[in-house]
Structure 1
């Protein structure tokens, strides 16, 4: 189980079990996952339910449950363990009444949500993904989970034009592009909630804050490639985890590797 540095109480787990039988227990927070292989059976809210491959399994705080394989092959899953504060942050603006979201079902047959759980889990487990992108992806997953499946939910809030806040966020990103800047800190500096900032930022600029951060890092790397600095040093200075990370995102945005781009500059 890997704790994550943001929101203080979010952990990710990827595991495979064959003979494991979890005794009845409960969690102080939420659990949300997707079954990658096999099937898991567990008693939840007085019923025996099965979560097969491709479906979402979850529990809410304080709800007793157990868990074991639905057959002799066991099961594999990716799980998020979430402090209630993470759901409270995501729910603000989605719930008709203030409070923690509740989910009656322990298994959700929602292939799209299962795919989002899988993609977000992979992103949060990758060292190449920035804290800002991890927070954005997790916030996006939680808000869609709530809006699609919470027992009581409201409509998506209307987007508003917060030009000043978006411009402030842009300035911060361009000034601190080399840092692993968290979304929560960026939102506080801009004077908006993380959820609101992501929505108005994307509406105004056509990309998320972490997309704009990646674009800025690539731009700065292009500027530095006109000099003689080592690619590894340029990658570190521009906020990439290593040279391979720089190469992958630079080519995705420009169509060229950093080495080919530098050679083109030298030839011209």
Structure 2
């Protein structure tokens, strides 16, 4: 579900996904917008893409420039306006406290809700993680697994490195059996939109720990592994007569354009070009 506005050279788009309660997204470009002093009931976490945002927060005036992360915690009043004549463009997540608490529990099960003393963070890795997660949540064809994994990775990085009481990631143990069960499930049910919670329940691990264990064992996060399985199955189907749109749906991609984009990134050819190659090879015409 999305809502947007465009007026006087400014634009904003708000997005929520019914299957992910507690997560809202905002992508906006502002020049003259001035936010009155207000507070959120959620955590706000975002990245400035262009220009700069200035706001009064925690008794100080702060400026978030392009490439920096800006944030506020629930209940803390703040305002906001452009710090440069060209305004600012940013991507924001608004995360219900239970979403952040769940990520915090991955790091320390009995830890109190995290608090952050800074409103601006100069952390290129976190900025890149937040931006990538936001792009995935916007992308219509992205899987639930990819979205959840990216957001959880960004939030746990944020907590572990910037909360007032930094947390230590739990050590990886010998959980190869859990990783193997997850891989088998991905290979068996690759056409489904499996969530990270489903995989974690099957593996008997917490979501974030499963991602770390799986990547340590197989070199890819579960969502990236799932994409490779789908592409491999699709390549096999390209030798047959099915339409490309039907192949995309059969292996679990949301639409043909998403399938085509990922296939080309993996193979360097579009599915149509690969089909011609494979079928010509079988008939001896290549």
The reply to whether TM is greater than 0.5 is yes
Aligned-residue Cα RMSD (Å) equals: 1.8
Q: Is the 8 A contact 1:94 1:153 kept in 2?
A: no
1:16 is paired with a residue of what secondary structure?
A: strand
Cα shift at 1:253:
2.6
Q: Which residue of 2 aligns with 1:141?
A: 154
Are positions 1:233 and 2:235 aligned together?
no
Are positions 1:54 and 2:67 aligned together?
yes
Shift in alpha-carbon separation, 1:95–1:249, aligned structure 2, 3 A: same
Are positions 1:9 and 2:27 aligned together?
no
- Counterparts in 2 of 1:76-95, with a 5 A limit? 76-95=89-108
1:172-192 alpha-carbon deviations (Å, 9 max, x no partner): 212221122211222122221
1:126 to 134, 139, 153: 139
Q: Is the 8 A contact 2:106 2:206 kept in 1?
A: no
Q: Give the count of matched residue pairs.
A: 268
Q: Which residue of 1 aligns with 2:87?
A: 74
Q: Which residue of 1 aligns with 2:177?
A: 164
Q: Is the 8 A contact 2:161 2:167 kept in 1?
A: no
When the two structures are superposed, what TM-score results if normalisation uses the length of structure 2? Answer: 0.87
Q: Which residue of 2 aligns with 1:104?
A: 117
Cα shift at 1:244:
2.5
Shift in alpha-carbon separation, 1:21–1:220, aligned structure 2, 3 A: same
Q: Is the 8 A contact 2:47 2:130 kept in 1?
A: yes
Q: RCO higher in 1 or 2 (8 Å CA, sep ≥ 6)?
A: 1
Rounded Cα–Cα distance in structure 1 between residues aligned with 2:197 and 2:270:
32
Rounded Cα–Cα distance in structure 1 between residues aligned with 2:113 and 2:252:
36
